[in-house]
Amino acid sequence: MCLAVPMKLIKREGLKGVVELGGVEREVSLMMMPDAREGEYLIVHAGFAIQRLDEEEARRTLELFKQMGEDLPEDLDFSTPSDDDNT
């Protein structure tokens, strides 16, 4: 079974980006989300960012995963970047 997971875009270069969740970083394709910006939360599935969601929705989704017994880190960082970080 595959799950689409909310992850924070921390770096991008062209149509490739690096997303992070609980200290784990993964490279993803931004081909389907070419306007994604650093600091945004994205739904990632099979190596592709497929949807944008706000911080609160990301938090609720990850909490549901925890409740279902998924092995997610306890100390997830949901801090929002300052406006300067999105340039």
* Average pLDDT score over residue span 63-68: 79
**Are 39 and 8 a contacting pair, CB within 8 Å?**
yes
Q: Is residue 26 part of a domain?
A: yes
Q: Which of 29-33, 69-73, 83-87 has the weakest average pLDDT?
A: 83-87
Owner of token pair 């549901």: 64
In whole angstroms, give the CA distance from residue 19 to residue 45.
12
Q: Is 38's pLDDT higher than 50?
A: yes
Count of structural domains within the chain: 1
Q: 8: Cβ–Cβ under 8 A, 6 or more apart, which residues? A: 19, 20, 21, 39, 40, 41, 42, 58, 77
The pTM assigned to this predicted structure is: 0.73
CATH number at residue 14: 2.30.30.140
Q: Is residue 79 part of a domain?
A: no
In whole angstroms, give the CA distance from residue 33 to residue 54.
15
